[in-house]
Amino acid sequence: MAVFEKIIPRKVFLDDTQVLTCIFENAQNIQGHTEYIIRVQRGPLPEKTWHIYKRYNDFVSLHNLLQISGLNFPLPPKKLIGNMEREFIAERQTGLQNYLNLILMNPILASSLPVKKFLDPENYATPFQELALQHVSMILRSEVNYEVIKPVPEIGWRLRKHYFLVKSRVNPKEEMLLSWVEHGPDKYLEDRDLHGVFKSISGLQHPYIQGIEFLNCNEVGGFVVRGLNNAGSLRDLLCTAKPKLQFMKKYGNPKQYKPLSPSDMACFGRQILEVLRFLSEKGLPFGHLHTGNIMLENGEVKLLDIENGVLGLPSYYRPYFVQHKKIQTLEAVDVYCFGHVLYEMAFGHPLHESVCDIFPSSCPPVLKSVLESILSTEACKGGLPTIAALLTHPFFNSTELAYSHHLTNPSQSDRPHLKFSSHVKEALKVARQKIEIRLKDEQKMVRHQKRLVRVQELLSNEEEKKKRKQKQKEQLQKQHQQLVSNGKSPERSESPNSTSTATSAGTVTPPSGNCLIEFSPPPPPPVPSAPSPLQSVPSAAPERTALLGSICNFNKATLRRTAATASASNLNQGCILP
């Protein structure tokens, strides 16, 4: 490196696909109003957090903006009297937390501008459409062939992508669609190399890629001019939606889903795979396949947005495949996105999960095998098939491509064509590697965060067990104190063996042999607090009671001395005579 060479730092653009999570931490009283303190986090790293302060009216405004989607999530109701009570504030805080959780679980609402602006006002309060119009007008100032007519509503899901109707001065009656988008976080091409890529893309030819009329870029973003397709995208067809309506209104809560037939799925899927293989062979990074950028013309697929990869835009399904460490290459990303597209074509509605292990019984077995090889948990853990392997699958290989005569008998105009210079090829190769490195790094962060969450759950479970044991111990101590305070000692509680113990204590078993026993005088009277042996055997028979009484009242003075007794005393010297 030269001594005086200036190092230009790469600008890091915000990744709008990173998931936002929020947790209500507290509530405070500000000038007679309740203000909720919410902690918001972007992505897996806890360092990317900030706090927002919202009142209930802010949630009402957000709720009104989201009504265009047709989804009605339960917002806690208003309360005029008693809305400052502590119990009510806690109850409302729980309801608002559940309300935001439901919104963030819906991919369409979570990616909308009202939700992003509500949770991250610092980064999303910019008037994006006005800035886009300024950049487009500035670039087209040197172009005499195109003129902007009017902006189009947000028909796409990207917040930083805006659409305008333009017309060509050569053919004023023909309307075309211009799409402008800012650079994304995966832009690793220098501006000079990006211009070279755009120049090559302008001459691209492929039967299943929609033609490009004009494209250009600057240091902020790029735009592409294409012909206007009034039929809409494949997603419009599946949701039976009008193409020019706003994104949330079209796809938030469609009234009807219209899945494709297996034959159409096999045909369109084969055509999409041919495009993916073509882009992969040419070294052009893609990874942006979804039903919103697939058009249908005369029974053929026309793929859009092939320039998204070099512009550095994040993928629509990135929040899903970033959870699986086996999806680390751009080819694997394309295959995973193709699995989601195939699922949506089969069942009409998108898959809002990263994996799927259970499919409807109506799914044909051959189609089910394709979906399982891409979307099942086992496939995402073990590895996805390649594009070439999918092209040889019976579901696609055994289908006659009735609409794909371009591949079997291509003419000069239909022959696929895309050529890059050697310098641009090397730059694209480096860019692909950097895109994959960023993906791997983010996957490591996601796995690390999941491990931390599992450890915290284990620790919380251990703490719960300790709390339960401590609570049981405190309850036992409390019961013991209550027994002591009531005059009942646990040590002196009656046991089932108390009767037998008392009986054995009041019964004398005579020894074996002929020794005369010197009976000791009767024991002193018992302490009044302790029961006597006779009283402790209330159930003894009358004869037994009389025998015990005679033993206790025995008087040795009434015994007579006999000769047998004297001789016995000589033999048994250990015995004591009366």
Q: At what angle do helices 86-105 and 56-65 cross, to 10 degrees?
A: 30
pLDDT at position 195: 94
Residue 459 falls within a domain, yes or no?
A: no
Last residue of a domain, one of 437, 453, 469: 453
Same domain, 222 and 314: yes
Same domain, 60 and 200: no
What are the DSSP calls for 371-412, one per residue? Answer: HHHHHSHHHHHH-PPPHHHHHTSHHHHTS--TT-HHHHS--T
Last residue of a domain, one of 402, 420, 453: 453
pLDDT digits (tens, 9 = 90+) for 391-406: 999 999 876 654 444 4
Residue 552 has pLDDT above 90, yes or no: no
pLDDT at position 83: 77
pLDDT at position 573: 47
Residues near 206 by beta carbon (within 8 Å), at least 6 away in sequence: 275, 278, 416, 417, 418
Residue 409 banded pLDDT, cuts 50, 70, 90: low
Among 180-184, 234-238, 377-381, 512-516, the least confident range: 512-516
Same domain, 222 and 251: yes
What are the DSSP calls for 191-221, one per residue? Answer: HHHHHHHHHHHTT-B-TTB---SEEEE-SSE
Same domain, 205 and 105: no
Residue 12 falls within a domain, yes or no?
A: no
Residue 1 falls within a domain, yes or no?
A: no
Most confident of 72-76, 422-426, 556-560: 422-426
Residue 544 has pLDDT above 80, yes or no: no
**In angstroms, rounded to a whole number, what is the distance separating the alpha carbons of residues 563 and 61?**
122
The mean pLDDT value for 412-428 works out to 87
**In angstroms, rounded to a whole number, what is the distance separating the alpha carbons of residues 70 and 247?**
12
Same domain, 310 and 336: yes
**In angstroms, rounded to a whole number, what is the distance separating the alpha carbons of residues 117 and 112?**
9
Residue 486 has pLDDT above 80, yes or no: no
**In angstroms, rounded to a whole number, what is the distance separating the alpha carbons of residues 31 and 564?**
114
CA dist 157 → 111, 246, 443 (Å) = 7, 9, 24
Mean pLDDT of the chain: 83
Same domain, 180 and 317: yes
Residues near 317 by beta carbon (within 8 Å), at least 6 away in sequence: 290, 336, 337, 340
Residue 553 falls within a domain, yes or no?
A: no
Residue 547 falls within a domain, yes or no?
A: no
Residue 377 falls within a domain, yes or no?
A: yes
Number of domains in the chain: 2
Residue 557 banded pLDDT, cuts 50, 70, 90: low
Residue 517 has pLDDT above 50, yes or no: no
- pTM of the complete model: 0.76
Same domain, 245 and 279: yes
CATH value at residue 162 = 1.10.510.10
8 A C-beta contact, residue 66 and residue 112: yes
8 A C-beta contact, residue 416 and residue 208: no
Same domain, 372 and 264: yes
Among 219-228, 474-483, 496-505, the least confident range: 496-505
DSSP 68: G
Same domain, 153 and 117: no
Is the CA virtual torsion 64, 70, 75, 78 positive or negative?
positive
Bridge-based pairing of strands 294-297 and 300-303 is antiparallel
CATH value at residue 90 = 3.30.1520.10
Residue 304 falls within a domain, yes or no?
A: yes
pLDDT digits (tens, 9 = 90+) for 447-479: 888 888 888 778 777 777 778 888 888 888 887
Residue 36 banded pLDDT, cuts 50, 70, 90: very high
Residue 335 falls within a domain, yes or no?
A: yes
| Torsion angle defined by CA atoms of residues 202, 289, 242 and 260, in that order, rounded to the nearest 10 degrees | 120
**In angstroms, rounded to a whole number, what is the distance separating the alpha carbons of residues 210 and 201?**
11
Same domain, 54 and 156: no
Last residue of a domain, one of 453, 472, 502: 453
Among 156-160, 271-275, 369-373, the least confident range: 156-160
Residue 549 banded pLDDT, cuts 50, 70, 90: low
Structural domain that includes position 42: 20-123
Q: Which three-class secondary structure string do you get for 323-362?
A: CCCCCCCHHHHHHHHHHHHHHHHHHCCCCCCCCCCCCCCC
Same domain, 98 and 150: no
Same domain, 166 and 97: no
The mean pLDDT value for 78-94 works out to 86
